[in-house]
Amino acid sequence: MEEKKAIFIIGVIWVCGSLLSLPNALYSKAFTYSYAEGELRTICFLVWPDGSPGYSTYDYIYNITFLILTYVLPMGSMAFTYTFMARVLWGSKAIGEGSHLQREFIRSKQKVVKMLIVVVVLFAFCWAPYHGYFLYTYHFPDVVNQKYVQHVYLAIYWLAMSNSMYNPIIYVWMNKRYDLSVVLIEHCWLFCTVTFFCENLRKNLINTLQSINLKF
């Protein structure tokens, strides 16, 4: 790929990502609440012009758009691409007719495709409940009053946010070319990432629980 084309594509991705996040910058508001213990806590909450999330038509349209742009279209394009690649790599007659070097080259490509498919399937599994939750609560708003809905939401939120930490594990597991030094670096990086992730997740979960309790 040419350098100018790559820069253009990266720029488009950044612009689209910024536009997709713009509603959060426009409609997020900070509220300060006083608790029974006398503690003051400031919470950032998304308030749409026609209501709060779960009861807002704007929020529903945004979630549909977000679902299509960040989940349906990427999953569809990757499914089509990897299916085509698999048909070429596993269905080619040259696999049994080529030289040993050609067969090894094709096998290495097959391993890469398998690894990418696992990454995509895991991405789909982790993020599907997250997108489904907001659509479900819009059509069935009474569910947010159920006893354990906060715990369900936090489990779904954790599953979605934890997706990024699985990729290094998959790379080490499915790529035998990783030598010991790379594996050690990956493990150290993974440990630091998980530690940082868990600490931030703990803080986010506390704020989310408080915002949910305040809302309902």
The answer to whether 120 touches 78, Cβ cutoff 8 Å, is: yes
pTM, entire model = 0.66
String of b and e for 132-164 (b: at least 16 CB within 10 Å)? ebbeebbeeeeebeeeeebeebbebbbebbebe
Q: Give me the pLDDT at residue 200, please.
A: 56
pLDDT tens per residue across span 144-187: 778 888 889 899 999 998 888 888 788 777 766 655 545 555 55
Answer yes or no: is pLDDT of 103 > 80: no
**Beta-bridge partner residues of 30:** 44
Say what the pLDDT of residue 216 is: 42
Of how many residues is the chain composed? 216
The confidence score (pLDDT) of residue 212 equals: 45
**Quick one: average pLDDT of 135-150?**
83
The residue with greater pLDDT, 88 or 30, is 30
50 alpha-carbon distance from chain centroid: 28
d(C-alpha 9, C-alpha 29), whole Å: 33
pLDDT at position 166 is: 85
Count CB atoms within 10 A of the CB of residue 127.
20
In this predicted structure, what is the pLDDT of residue 53?
Answer: 75
Q: Can you give the pLDDT at residue 169?
A: 82
The tokens describing 143, both together, are 């569910």
Express as a percent the part of the chain with pLDDT over 70.
73
Average confidence score pLDDT of the chain:
77
3-state secondary structure of 33: strand
Which of 28-32, 34-38, 175-179 is the least confident region? 175-179
191 or 13, higher pLDDT: 13
C-alpha 175/C-alpha 169 separation (Å) is 10
pLDDT 10s digits, 39-84 = 787 877 788 888 877 778 898 899 999 899 889 998 888 888 878 8
What b/e string do you get for 36-65 counting C-beta neighbours within 10 Å, with b at 16 or more?
eeeeeeeeeebebeeeebbebeebbebbee
Binned at pLDDT 50, 70 and 90, residue 129 comes out as: very high
pLDDT attached to residue 205:
53
Cross-strand bridge partners of residue 42: 32
Provide the angle, in degrees to the nearest 10, between the axes of the packed helices 166-174 and 100-139.
160
Write out the two tokens for 18: 């910024």
